Structure 1
Amino acid sequence: MAYDNKNFGDNRNNESLFSKRIKAGKRRTYFFDVRSTRGNDYFITITESKKRFDDNGYDRHKMFLYKEDFNKFLNALTETVNYVKTELMPDFDFDAYNHDQDAEGEETTMSTSSVSEAEDGGVDDWKM
């Protein structure tokens, strides 16, 4: 689920301008958020949130990604994922995991066009 936050003006509390949530299993969720600095620059936070086994809250791990590192990060991530897919697990059906749950709990299929584009033309061709 992605959404636009219309609070572009005074953003002192560092709210997300854009957010994408990925449910990964029963206890794990990833959040990709675009945030702004006081100087109206932008960066991405990647948060892993895992529900504790004792059901006593969540453990969160956050990573900050700055614009000057976007291309290097995407290149390294793409190279690493492609290595696993082609060298370590070439017969594994990664597309079997391209689903998510919508608001009503029904599974929906997600597109893999971004991954295909990366494999064909590299991450510099990705549209962000």
Structure 2
Amino acid sequence: MDERENDKIYSKRVRAGKRTYFFDVKATRGNDYYIILTESRRFPQGEGFTYDKQKMFLYKEDFAKFVQSLQETIDYVKNELMPDVDFTQFDRKEAVSDDFNSELKWE
């Protein structure tokens, strides 16, 4: 196994049509943790497909600010820009899956 893969602690995959989102927890050499958010988009190429990936790194000191700002932004879109849309129609439990059976352990 690739040495870079060894530091992957936890992964969650969300399939969304031609896009897949990955939420990966990795460890630094000093046993600190961070999250990598990846958007992977699939495009047809020849007889197969090619993938375009965009990554964002999220560090522990930014977790609370990130979650709060994301929730505020989602609430704004739902309540101010699209109040008539029933967002429950987009909820699909089967779209979320665990890539690893291990649990994240904060020590």
With normalisation by structure 2, the TM-score equals 0.78
Hey, what's the Cα distance between the residues in 2 that align with 1:62 and 1:100? Answer: 24
| Counterpart residue number, 2:94 | 101
Gaps of 5+ in 2: 97-107
- C-alpha distance in 2, partners of 1:80/1:101? 25
Q: How does 1:112-123 map to 2 (within 5 A)?
A: none
**Relative contact order, higher structure (CA 8 A, sep 6+):** 2
4+ aligned runs moved over 3 Å, structure 1: none
Q: % of aligned pairs identical?
A: 53
Relative to its length, the structure with more strand (as a share) is 2
1:23 maps to amino acid? R
Deviations 1:21-66 (A, max 9, x none): 10111x1000001100000000000000000133432000010000
Distance 1:92 1:62 in 2: 29
Aligned ranges for residues 1-128 of structure 1 at < 5 Å? 12-14=3-5, 15-25=7-17, 27-54=18-45, 55-101=48-94
CA RMSD of aligned residues (A): 1.8
Aligned length: 91
TM-score (norm 1): 0.66
